[in-house]
Amino acid sequence: MIDDLYSARLLKLAANLPRVGRLADPDATSEKVSKLCGSRVTVDVKVEGDRVADFAQDVKACALGQASAAVLGAHVIGASLAEIETTRDAFRAMLKADGPAPEGRFAELALLAPVKDYPARHTSTLLAFEAAAEAVKNAIVSGGER
């Protein structure tokens, strides 16, 4: 079972985290922390309209949280708030309610389906998408594009 959870593909994703760091002048920032394990994800975004124009993330998380953040970082540029929220909600349903994997640009999250059998890992696995959705929403509300 652990081999399914920590597959070579998942570990490769976690080891190659894109868009690491912080933006110099983000439109919004969001930080999410798992109280259970201490994983922490900080996301900076710049938006144009309702779409992500630039993105950076500081990820201090387990391999599962890093793999999720890697999928986000690889595909987030150009994503709309609706896409990110829909993906976050589908991802949560996949983990907590045995729902189908997210579709579209973030479909690679299907790789994390085995996490559903480990409820203690759900929060850390969802952190990056929770933070991204909040940051993009806050950027849009505050007017974005400074």
Torsion, CA 80, CA 113, CA 17, CA 33, rounded to 10: 80
**Separation of alpha carbons 99 and 38, rounded Å:** 26
Q: Which two tokens stand for residue 91?
A: 């991802």
Read off the DSSP letter of residue 111: G
pLDDT digit of tens for each residue in the chain (146 aa)?
566 678 888 889 899 999 999 999 999 999 999 998 899 999 999 999 999 999 999 999 999 999 999 999 999 999 999 999 999 999 999 999 999 999 999 999 999 999 999 999 999 999 999 999 999 999 999 885 54
Look up the pTM and report it. Answer: 0.93
Distances (CA, A) of 64 to 21, 22, 47: 19, 21, 27
Mind giving me the DSSP string for 36-76?
TT--EEEEEEEEETTEEEEEEEEEE--HHHHHHHHHHHHH-
pLDDT the model gives residue 144: 58
